[in-house]
Structure 1
Amino acid sequence: MGTESSGDRRDALRRLLNHTSGTPDHEIDERETDPRFLVAPTRQDLLAWIATNHRIAPPGRTWSYTSDGFIAAALVAEQVTGSSYGDLIRRELAEPLGLDHFGFELEPRAQAYMNHDGRPVPVPAIPYAWFSGAGSTCGTLGDLAQWWMVLRGGRVLNAASLAALMTPVTLRAEGATAEFPYGLGIRLGR
Structure 2
Amino acid sequence: MNASARTGRWSALVAAGALLAAATVGVATPALAAGPSSAAVAAARPAPLDRAALAAALHALPADVTGALVRVDGPGARWRGTSGEDVPADARFRIGSVTKVFTATVMLQLAAEGKVDLDGTVQHYLPGLLPDGYPTVTVRQLLNHTSGLPGGGGMTSGDGSTAWFAAHKADWFSPRQVVKDMLTQPMNFAPGTAQQYNGNGYFVAALVIEKVTGDDYADQVRRRITGPLGLRATYVPAADDLTVHGPHATGYVDVRNPDGSTSRVDVTEQSPYPWAEGGMISSAADLERFFDALYRGRLLPPAQQAEVFAVPDLPNDHNRNCEIGPTAGRACYSTAGLLRTVLPNGTEVWGKNGSRPGYTTGVFATRDFSRSVVVGLNPTGITGEEFPTLWKLVTTGFGSGQAYGA
TM-score of the superposition, structure 2-length normalised? 0.40
CA distance in 2, matches of 1:124, 1:137: 14
- Alignment partner of 1:98 is 2:225: no
Q: How does 1:13-162 map to 2 (within 5 A)?
A: 13-26=139-152, 28=157, 29-31=160-162, 32-33=164-165, 38-105=170-237, 107-108=244-245, 111-115=250-254, 116=256, 117-123=261-267, 125-128=269-272, 130-162=273-305
Shift of 1:68: 0.4
Shift of 1:82: 1.8
**Mean alpha-carbon deviation: is it higher for 139-148 or for 108-117?**
108-117
Shift of 1:36: 7.5
Q: Sort the Cα spacing of 1:37 and 1:24 in 2 relative to 1 into closer, same or farther, 3 A.
A: farther
- Alignment partner of 1:164 is 2:307: yes
CA distance in 1, matches of 2:341, 2:229: 25
Shift of 1:37: 7.0
**Mean alpha-carbon deviation: is it higher for 149-158 or for 112-121?**
112-121
TM-score of the superposition, structure 1-length normalised? 0.79
**Mean alpha-carbon deviation: is it higher for 118-127 or for 147-156?**
118-127
Q: Secondary structure at the match of 1:25?
A: coil
Whether the aligned pair in 2 keeps the contact of 1:33 and 1:124 (CA below 8 Å) is no
Q: Sort the Cα spacing of 1:49 and 1:15 in 2 relative to 1 into closer, same or farther, 3 A.
A: same
- The structure with higher relative contact order (CA 8 Å, sep 6+) is 2
CA distance in 2, matches of 1:43, 1:94: 22
Shift of 1:43: 4.3
Number of equivalenced pairs: 179
Q: Sort the Cα spacing of 1:34 and 1:121 in 2 relative to 1 into closer, same or farther, 3 A.
A: closer
CA distance in 2, matches of 1:124, 1:55: 34
In the other structure, the counterpart of 1:175 is: none
Whether the aligned pair in 1 keeps the contact of 2:179 and 2:200 (CA below 8 Å) is no
CA distance in 2, matches of 1:110, 1:40: 23
Q: Where does the alignment leave 5 or more consecutive residues of structure 2 unmatched?
A: 1-116, 123-136, 238-242, 316-328, 343-406
Q: Pick one of 112, 118, 121 that aligns with 1:9.
A: 121
RMSD, aligned α-carbons: 2.7
Structure 1, residues 54-85: CA drift from partner, whole Å, max 9, x if none?
A: 21211111211110011111111011112222
Q: Secondary structure at the match of 1:45?
A: helix
Amino acid at match of 1:112: G
Amino acid at match of 1:74: A
Structure 1, residues 92-129: CA drift from partner, whole Å, max 9, x if none?
A: 1111111111121273376532223333123485421x
In the other structure, the counterpart of 1:179 is: 330
Amino acid at match of 1:186: L
Q: Sort the Cα spacing of 1:76 and 1:94 in 2 relative to 1 into closer, same or farther, 3 A.
A: same
Which of the two has higher C-alpha Rg? 2
More helix per residue: 1
Q: Sort the Cα spacing of 1:97 and 1:20 in 2 relative to 1 into closer, same or farther, 3 A.
A: same
In the other structure, the counterpart of 1:3 is: none
Q: Sort the Cα spacing of 1:12 and 1:67 in 2 relative to 1 into closer, same or farther, 3 A.
A: same
